[in-house]
Structure 1
């Protein structure tokens, strides 16, 4: 099981990171809005993650709003030379905490400038274009704007998020796609809907990602989505003296060398559990039992 993964491996500026990242979505307050319930712990989580080898952080300026970007900067700036901070654009938040598209070329430029400012960077290493709005703004217009900002040097690599197989295939025709971020976990291997709307799953794009050498970065890999599967993962967890959440992470790492898990948490104790999951070695029998 490889311990690292390379993003944009077909470019002249690839990014190699350790194969367990950290997603910051759980750091803000309830509904991914407002300041953390425990700000010192949130800052310590970010520092502890990096101190323990995590060098891939996933964020977005619409987490909070701007809460996770500001926390990252406060905790880690000046950034370690090997740290990759990945952000997302294509959405924004309303005061009622709803999630709405923000994906015209002008919107996307505004978001990139905001991320650069709040993170204190001159260039963002990796940006995922999150697709929302059911095609109200054509993919070629959205991705075209991203590729233009890449040519300007504001973005190093462009990825896609929340994409169907057809959208990924279309994106690959338009430019180099460095990574894909879709909902995916042991209990979420098909297209599902959740509080933020319809989300394509990771399973439908994984083979395409593998074929093109594109890391698949799973988000929101909650185990309780399909409770009937918990008995199975629970049995494997007992064999390894681990938690089902840890086995979920280990399953992602063993499923494909092109998967880069980014489990998030607002608890320092849970962060340490997640980090320990990277050391769990699942056997072929374990993987077969998990199905």
Structure 2
């Protein structure tokens, strides 16, 4: 696969609300630092390299970037890097961010935001990104409690014009129904990858039935989560990678995109070569036999 010539357009398109995006996007979580993402003691990544990666992503057709104000390490903020690298923003670029969790200046995690604090988090993202409105804001939650009050607060900011589309992150199916009774939901962002549970699959299918974009996180990292790509790929993934002449990470990304036309991938990296490989995975076509082998192995 000649990845140097492949752009994000090869992955196809879907919409976040009314905003068309290529199905391979870019996740900014790992951009500010090396090593464990979201670690208060992480080593900052070289600023110029991070900016080059962002600009190269857009050159290669990426028009969906996922970020958050709490993606930062000492000296580096993902939002600030995005603003510096890409502002003034291309007309077709969609930037999705998340609110709910928070970190103080030292990087320590704070309790999840109350409805009253969510406006401050939205305004923080606006300020850091240099925008007068946010394309997509995902409410990220932990647990199974009602989200009506928090999602309602974001819906008010949408009505005020600060937010164009709303989404949800790390949810269960009942949260989606609860949110939809308040305002339209453009996307759901949940953990999903090879070996996903039936419950995770049901939510992905539910979104597909309703035309809602489903945006998996940790689709490459797997059990590695914020530490980065897993090395425990298993023999089936490794064998398919060899057969297709690609990396195991590319197989994982391709499998993710094959889960439905509404599925968007947001692999993140600070490495220019990995960026090119991730984008090239959008052109990889797996056969039914390939997909069955991966599903059975999982």
**Separation (CA, whole Å) in 1 of partners of 2:157 and 2:184:** 13
Answer whether contact 1:91 1:132 (CA < 8 A) is retained: no
**Separation (CA, whole Å) in 2 of partners of 1:275 and 1:166:** 33
Superposed counterparts of 1:147-162, under 5 Å: 147-162=155-170
**1:77 maps to 2:87:** yes
Q: Which runs of 5+ in 1 are unaligned?
A: 9-13, 192-200
What's the C-alpha RMSD, in Å, of the aligned pairs?
2.2
Find the counterpart in structure 1 of residue 259 from structure 2. 255
Shift of 1:216: 0.6
Find the counterpart in structure 1 of residue 134 from structure 2. 124
Shift of 1:6: 1.1
Find the counterpart in structure 1 of residue 27 from structure 2. 23
Give the secondary-structure state (helix, strand or coil) at the position aligned to 1:57: strand
Find the counterpart in structure 2 of residue 38 from structure 1. 46
Superposed counterparts of 1:180-199, under 5 Å: 180-187=188-195, 189-190=196-197
**Separation (CA, whole Å) in 1 of partners of 2:201 and 2:108:** 27
User: Structure 1 residues 98 and 121 mapped into 2: Cα distance closer, same or farther (>3 Å)?
Assistant: same
TM (norm. structure 2) is 0.86
Answer whether contact 1:31 1:97 (CA < 8 A) is retained: no
Superposed counterparts of 1:56-67, under 5 Å: 56-64=64-72, 67=77
Find the counterpart in structure 2 of residue 197 from structure 1. none
Shift of 1:127: 0.5
Find the counterpart in structure 2 of residue 103 from structure 1. 113
User: Structure 1 residues 263 and 231 mapped into 2: Cα distance closer, same or farther (>3 Å)?
Assistant: same
Shift of 1:96: 6.2
Shift of 1:133: 6.0
**Separation (CA, whole Å) in 1 of partners of 2:20 and 2:48:** 30
**Separation (CA, whole Å) in 2 of partners of 1:132 and 1:255:** 25
Aligned residue pairs, count: 274
Out of 168, 174, 177, the residue aligned to residue 185 of structure 2 is 177
Shift of 1:223: 3.8
**Separation (CA, whole Å) in 2 of partners of 1:53 and 1:258:** 18
Answer whether contact 1:202 1:218 (CA < 8 A) is retained: no
Find the counterpart in structure 1 of residue 217 from structure 2. 219
Answer whether contact 2:144 2:172 (CA < 8 A) is retained: no
Q: Deviations over 1:214-236 (max 9, x none)?
A: 01101122145698762111111
**1:141 maps to 2:122:** no
Give the secondary-structure state (helix, strand or coil) at the position aligned to 1:61: coil
TM (norm. structure 1) is 0.88
Answer whether contact 1:224 1:230 (CA < 8 A) is retained: no
**1:208 maps to 2:206:** yes
Whose relative contact order is higher, 1 or 2, with alpha carbons under 8 Å and at least 6 apart?
2
Q: Deviations over 1:112-169 (max 9, x none)?
A: 011111101011010100013663xx41110000100000000000000010122122
Shift of 1:98: 4.2
Answer whether contact 1:28 1:36 (CA < 8 A) is retained: yes
Find the counterpart in structure 1 of residue 16 from structure 2. 7
Q: Which runs of 5+ in 2 are unaligned?
A: 1-9, 225-229
Give the secondary-structure state (helix, strand or coil) at the position aligned to 1:27: coil
**Separation (CA, whole Å) in 2 of partners of 1:286 and 1:31:** 32
Answer whether contact 1:102 1:108 (CA < 8 A) is retained: no
